[in-house]
Amino acid sequence: MSNLIKIAVDAMGGDGSPKKIIDGIVHNHNSHKENFFKIFGDKNQILEIISGKIDDKFYEIVDTKDIVKSTDSPLEAAKRGKKTSMWLSIESVKKKESDIVISAGNTGALLVIAKLNLKMLENIDKPALSALWPNKKGMSVVLDLGANIECSSKNLVDFSIMGASLYKSLYPDDVPNVALLNIGSEELKGNEIIKETFQKLNEKGNQNFDFSGYIEGNELMNGKVNVIVSDGFTGNVALKTAEGTANFITEELKEALSGSLLGKISSFLNISNLKKFKKRLDPRLYNGAIFIGLDTPVVKSHGGTDFIGFSNSLNVCNRIIKGNLIDKIKENI
């Protein structure tokens, strides 16, 4: 079993835990048997759900009754001590007992506890929160999504390198194509920091990714670039706007196609296309934000996702380790 990827799982974070987390593990295991799960949480609750569904050679439970609450501030979470499921799961990768860690718990707490336990990669000043977004041609990596409200040009250059490395580890056959999120595509647009970043990336001539300059918010999904870089304030606003727009479109379409007889007939005739459309906008398929810049990647599953979404974020963990993300960042930085 030494060839299995070892994933440390905080089983007590997020809505509906630990059932949702364990159901996600079972679903993931049934799809492929490449992972070993080191599960941190209430052993009695976990055994009740997992017993008989997975061979116990594919998992280990570390019993812990203490948890980080969703209402905890990052400081309160850190003060809860070193016996919470979140802290112990992160400590597991620190001790090299696991390859990667995942939690659906409190985001602020996860970032702070990760920073307290794990070292920064050499020459990286700030870690970044990144995620996958759908585009017309496939997927994009977008960062930073809220870990750093203010960034220097060096931070944005680092994010470009880390984002490109993440994209390459997830999609090894594709070439990363980086762009800076800005208010216009012309060279003179934007603040001084983003213009300075533009100059640095232009001069850098990095052989590990292509640089395409600026991208505007209305072009995020057109697929012309696959790594989109911004500071955490701008990135978070863009993320929430995109999520809200997708939900609005889906809900409005559902209402239009179920509100009248003509709508119902139309939806029946187009059921195949509607299923494709719904699947394309299904947020569970893109679940799993990645905290990069530390010496071990930390994956954050959305707290409100279901077991399918959590299973998909376990796939992200698997692909990150297979793709040697940390080695790629070290080489490129």
For the chain, the residue count is 333
Residue 56 placed within a domain: yes
* Contact indicator for 161, 211 with CB cutoff of 8 Å: no
Residues 163 and 186 placed together within one structural domain of the fold? yes
Q: Are residues 267 and 221 in the same domain?
A: yes
**250 found inside a domain:** yes
Read off the pLDDT band of 281 (50, 70, 90). low
* Shared-domain flag, residues 72 and 152: no
Residue 297, pLDDT > 60, answer yes
The H or E element containing residue 78 is helix 74-79
Both 199 and 156 in one domain: the answer is yes
Q: Is the pTM of this model over 0.75?
A: yes
Residue range 90-110: mean pLDDT, rounded: 93
Question: Could you tell me if residue 200 is inside a domain?
Answer: yes
Q: 151 or 79, which is more confident?
A: 151
The answer to whether residues 283 and 71 touch, using CB atoms and an 8 Å cutoff, is no
Domain count, the chain: 2
pLDDT in tens, 106-127: 888 999 999 999 999 999 999 9
- At position 161, the amino acid (one-letter code) is I
pLDDT at 282: 62
Task: Tell me the CATH number at 303.
Answer: 3.40.718.10
- Two tokens at 191? 């603040």
Q: In a 10 Å sphere around its CB, with 0-12 CB exposed, 13-18 middle and 19+ buried, how is residue 184 labelled?
A: exposed
| Residue 270 belongs to some domain of the structure | yes
Residues 31 and 107 in one domain: yes
Do both 146 and 277 map to the same domain? yes
pLDDT of residue 202: 86
pLDDT for 257 beyond 70 = no
- pLDDT class of 8 with cuts at 50, 70, 90: very high
Please state the separation of Cα 222 from the chain's center in Å: 21
| In contact, 127 and 107? CB cutoff 8 Å | no
- Asked whether residue 333 is assigned to any structural domain, the reply reads no
Q: Are strands 128-135 and 289-292 parallel, antiparallel or unpaired?
A: antiparallel
Name the residue with tokens 């072009």. 219
Q: Is the pLDDT of residue 277 over 60?
A: no
Q: Is residue 312 part of a domain?
A: yes
CA atoms within 13 A of residue 193's CA, in its CB half-sphere? 13
Report CA dihedral (67, 303, 115, 26) to the nearest 10 degrees: 80
pLDDT of res. 279: 61
User: Does residue 64 share a domain with residue 158?
Assistant: no
**148 and 249 belong to one structural domain:** yes
- Residue 208: per-residue pLDDT: 81
pLDDT value at residue 259: 61
Task: Assess whether 115 and 243 both reside in one domain.
Answer: no
Whether 104 maps to a domain, the answer reads yes
pLDDT at 12: 94
Residue 73 domain flag:
yes
Interval 36-80: pLDDT, tens: 999 999 999 999 999 989 998 999 999 999 988 888 888 888 887
Q: Which domain holds residue 217?
A: 126-285
Question: Per DSSP, which regions of the chain are E strands?
Answer: 5-10, 35-41, 59-63, 100-103, 128-135, 138-143, 177-181, 210-215, 227-229, 289-292, 298-300
Regarding whether 275 and 134 lie in a shared domain, the answer is: yes
Say whether both 212 and 265 belong to one domain: yes
- Token look-up 């906008």 returns 281
Do 180 and 275 sit in the same domain of this protein? Answer: yes
